[in-house]
């Protein structure tokens, strides 16, 4: 096998993991695999207290921390259009096959999708065979990075809801949680449209 990240050839280790996941061959060498770190639990609510977004997002769970290694791997995935790298995280998204909530990926702005040719969030779900629904449309195409908290809170809404979500339980999926603006804006419009609950799962927590 050739490691999907570092391209070095490696031998698959016969382990319980392989026995359990017999249909998922090991794609990444042990050396690369060991550089990923689990995300730490963080308090993400405080920043939103007293804003219109307070309480809109019911929970956020993140899988990996944004360490230097993850930054490198993720840049490769996102900007070098390396769709194959989505398979590395396949096992992380498999539990979603059992989730009863409606799975809603955070969409790219249509212009961005044209430029990038694939939606990295959708691809993560596709790699794990998880079905999803696009019920959000991105209306603004400017980055939130570098904005102050006040600017982020008062800025125009980033999304509109395009399908009926009344009384539905939504699980938002995004790649990276940084400021939390994206997920809070999405949760806000979904709750306004009548969603009963909005939880979120992100691959990475910065």
Query: Token pair for residue 117?
Result: 């040719």
Our CB check for Zn ion shows the closer of 32 and 39 to be 32
Per-residue string for binding with Zn ion, 11-40, x by CB under 5 A?
------------------x--x--------
- Contact between 85 and Zn ion by CB under 5 A: the answer reads no
- Contact between 6 and Zn ion by CB under 5 A: the answer reads yes
d(CA 136, CA 157) in angstroms, rounded, equals: 12
CB of 37 to Zn ion, least distance (A): 16
- Contact between 187 and Zn ion by CB under 5 A: the answer reads no
- Give the residue carrying structure tokens 């603004």: 140
Q: Which residues 6+ apart lie within 8 Å of 107 measured at CB?
A: 119, 121, 134, 136, 137, 138, 159
Our CB check for Zn ion shows the closer of 69 and 132 to be 69
Our CB check for Zn ion shows the closer of 17 and 116 to be 17
* Separate counts of helices (H) and strands (E) for the chain: 8, 6
Beta carbons of 202 and 167 less than 8 angstroms apart: no
CB of 17 to Zn ion, least distance (A): 16
Beta carbons of 169 and 142 less than 8 angstroms apart: no
Q: Which stretch binds Zn ion (CB under 5 A): 4-12, 91-99, 132-140, 198-206?
A: 4-12
Task: Determine how β-strand 136-138 pairs with β-strand 159-161.
Answer: antiparallel
CB of 203 to Zn ion, least distance (A): 19
Q: Which residues 6+ apart lie within 8 Å of 7 measured at CB?
A: none
Going by the DSSP 8-state scheme, the letter that residue 57 receives in this structure is -
Q: How many residues make contact with Zn ion (CB under 5 A)? A: 5
| Site residues for Zn ion per CB under 5 A | 3, 5-6, 29, 32
């Amino acid at each position: 096998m050739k490691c999907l990240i570092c391209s070095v050839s490696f031998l698959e280790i016969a382990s319980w993991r392989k026995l359990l996941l017999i249909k998922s061959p090991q794609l990444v060498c042990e050396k690369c695999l060991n550089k990923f770190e689990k995300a730490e639990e963080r308090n993400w609510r405080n920043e939103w207290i007293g804003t219109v977004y307070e309480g809109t997002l019911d929970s956020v769970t993140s899988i990996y921390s944004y360490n230097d290694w993850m930054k490198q791997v993720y840049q490769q995935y996102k900007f070098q259009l390396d769709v194959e790298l989505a398979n590395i995280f396949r096992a992380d998204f498999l539990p979603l096959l059992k989730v009863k909530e409606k799975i809603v990926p955070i969409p790219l702005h249509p212009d961005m999708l044209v430029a990038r040719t694939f939606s990295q969030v959708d691809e993560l779900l596709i790699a794990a065979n998880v079905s999803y629904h696009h019920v959000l449309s991105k209306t603004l195409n400017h980055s939130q990075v570098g904005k102050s908290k006040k600017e982020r809170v008062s800025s125009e809404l980033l999304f509109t809801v395009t399908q009926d979500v009344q009384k539905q339980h939504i699980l938002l999926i995004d790649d990276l949680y940084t400021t939390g603006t994206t997920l809070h804006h999405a949760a806000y419009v979904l709750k306004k449209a009548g969603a009963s609950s909005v939880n979120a799962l992100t691959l990475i927590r910065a």
